[in-house]
Chains A and B, each alone.
Chain A
Amino acid sequence: MQDTALQPSQRVRARDLFMAFLRIAVAGVGGVLPHAQYQLVERERWLTQREFADYLSAGQLLPGPNIVNVAIMVGARYRGLTGSLAGVAGMMVVPFFFVIGLAAFYRHFGEEPYVRQVFYGISAGAAGLMISTGVKLARAQPRQAWALLLVAAAFGLVGLARLPLIPVLLGLAPIALWLASRTPPPRKPTS
């Protein structure tokens, strides 16, 4: 457990921010978060464990990719706008070209009979992983009727009824926030 971190007044080189987030992105095949914790808290000591948890939950709460939001926040803390840009670039640039390479492979060979079947299997598997992520998120909710009803409503309206996302969110979010504001804070924080 790491409980000291650099002060925001200390500066970190943009290059170091770029490299740290590059390492997080490249090492984190199939799940970036454990690696982000290792790099940011244990290796670089840019965040304490507590700060990491706070940054992460802020990153999840804000729209946009969670880990990219974390890169923006960490970059801004140590190097302002340049730092944010360096962090995001580190996170995105190399993986971008890698994934485009895969997409180019798919474009050329994706319709070959054998390759196509492999891709069918792979996409079913990826969808299954998405479901497992959803189950983990659902399990982390407070065991209260209103929270479970909201999970079910969001799933049913978008997944089964296939209603468009934006109206569903605009309808459900105010109800969700109203219900949440009436709930006394839990004794054990769940995240």
Chain B
Amino acid sequence: MSLSVDELWSFGARLALLSMFSIGGANVVLPEIHRHVVMDQHWMSDAQFGSLVALAQASPGPNVLVIAVLGFQLGGMLTAAFTMLSFMTPTSVLTYLLTRIRGGERHERMVKILKLGLSPLTAGLVLANGWILTGASGAGHAAYPIALGAAGLALATRLNPVWVILGCGVVGAIVL
């Protein structure tokens, strides 16, 4: 499927806006992107969305590449570059500008409060994202034990997450 130019621009603007709320990383805004791309616009199915997120997680590079993968699915290479730049430019400019400012002691106290206050929200949002993606994986009810198993393995062992993901793929091939 391919988006019209108008749809593309408005999707880019939406990504740029969302990026400014992605405290803790791109994963935090995935539920919102899922809502737009799958539930409202029907640009792709639940299972497609879940698979693409998993692809981005399993490949090298930062998780934010999920935005490029979704863009590729919606158009092609150029769309991928466009969605990626839409999402990354605003926050990158912000971070760069902040490196030009030197903070004093009041600044340090403010940073501590921001960190203390915002990190519980990040934790909750990452959990929400994991929960929504479990439901959207395409595996139906079987997704819940698989996700639970993967989470348990990741928490209890120091196994590289890539092996956990691939293992789940094998389980999917056998069980589903």
Residues of chain A whose beta carbon lies under 8 Å from any beta carbon of chain B: 25-32, 57-69, 72-73, 76-77, 81, 84, 88, 91-92, 94-96, 98-100, 102-104, 106-107, 110, 114, 116-138, 140-142, 147-148, 150-156, 158-160, 162, 164-166, 169, 172-173, 176-181, 183, 185, 191
Contact = CB atoms under 8 A, between A and B. Distances in A.
Interface string B89-126: 01110111011100000000001111111111111111
Interface in B10-41: 17-29, 31-32, 35
Interface in B62-89: 62-65, 68-69, 72-73, 77, 80-81, 84, 88
Interface of B is mostly: helix
Interface residue tally on B, bucketed by range: 35 or more
Nearest to B65: A99
Contact of A158 (B26, B111, B125): B125
Interface of A is mostly: helix
Contacts of A133: 27, 126, 130, 154
Nearest to A181: B113
B8 interface: no
Q: What 9 pairs across the A-B complex have the smallest Cβ distances?
A: A121-B172, A95-B61, A154-B124, A125-B168, A64-B91, A159-B128, A128-B150, A180-B117, A134-B127
Contacts, number: 397
B120 A155 contact: no
A94 B60 CA distance: 9
Contact of B130 (A31, A61, A67, A134): A134
Given A29-B60, A122-B166, A132-B150, A151 B114 contact: no
Given A107-B73, A165-B31, A150 B121 contact: yes
